[in-house]
Structure 1
Amino acid sequence: MSSNLTVKALIFDVFGTLVDWRGSIAREARQALQPLGIDTDWPAFADAWRGEYQGAMEEVRSGRLPFSKLDRLHRRNLDIVLERLGFGAEVDEATRVKLNLAWHRLDAWPDVEAGLTALRRHYLLAPCSNGNISLMVDLARRNGWHWDAILGAELARDYKPKATVYLHACAALDLKREQVMMVAAHSSDLAAAAAAGLRTAHIARPDEAGPGHGEAAPTVAVDITASDLRDLASQL
Structure 2
Amino acid sequence: MRPERLVDAVLFDTFGTVVDWRSGIAQAVAEFSSAVDPDEFALAWRGRYQPSMAPVRSGEREFVDLDVLHRENLEATAAELGLPLDTAEPSDVDRLNRAWHRLPAWPDSVPGLTELKRHFIIGPLSNGHTALLTNMAKHAGLPWDVILGSDLLGTYKPDPRAYLGAAEILRLPPERVMLCAAHNTDLEAAQQAGLRTAFIPRPTEYGPTQRQDLHATGPWDVIAQDIVDLSVQLPQHVPG
Give the TM-score, by structure 2 length: 0.92
Counterpart check, 1:25 vs 2:32:
no
Contact 2:102/2:140, CA 8 A, preserved across alignment: no
Q: CA offsets, 1:29-85, max 9 Å, x none? A: 110123xxx2x2211100010011011100211122110011110001000011112
2:169 is aligned with 1:162: no
Map Cα deviations across residues 134-163 of structure 1 (whole Å, 9 max, x no partner): 110011111112211111421110000000
**Contact kept in structure 2, 1:206 and 1:212, CA below 8 Å:** no
User: Is 1:209 the counterpart of 2:206 in the alignment?
Assistant: yes
- What SS does the corresponding residue of 2:26 show, helix, strand or coil? helix
Q: Find 1:78's aligned residue among 57, 62, 74.
A: 74
Letter of the 2:45 partner, please give it. Answer: W
State the match for 1:223 in structure 2.
Answer: 221
Secondary structure in structure 2 of the residue aligned to 1:151: coil
Name the SS for the 1:207 alignment partner: coil
Contact map agreement 1:217 1:225 (CA 8 A) in 2: no
Other-structure match for 1:16 = 16
- Does the 8 A contact of 1:67 with 1:157 survive in 2? yes
Stretches of structure 1 lacking an aligned partner (at least 5 in a row): none
The aligned residue for residue 173 of structure 1 is 170
Tell me the equivalent position of 1:198: 195
1:205 aligned partner, one-letter code: R
Q: 1:127 to 1:120 in 2, by over 3 A?
A: same
Partner-residue secondary structure (3-state), 2:33: helix
Residue 91 (structure 1) shift: 3.7
Q: CA deviation at 1:215?
A: 2.1
Structure 2: any 5+ residue segments left out of the alignment?
235-240
Distance 1:183 1:168, change over 3 A: same
1:47 to 38, 43, 65: 43
- Contact 1:152 1:165 (C-alpha < 8 Å) held by counterparts: no
Verify the 8 A CA contact 1:60 1:67 in the aligned structure 2: yes
Instruction: Provide the rounded CA distance (Å) in 2 between the counterparts of 1:147 and 1:140.
Output: 8
CA contact (8 A) 1:33 1:91 kept: no
The one-letter amino acid paired with 1:23 is: S
Cα RMSD after superposing both structures: 1.4
- 2:238 maps to none
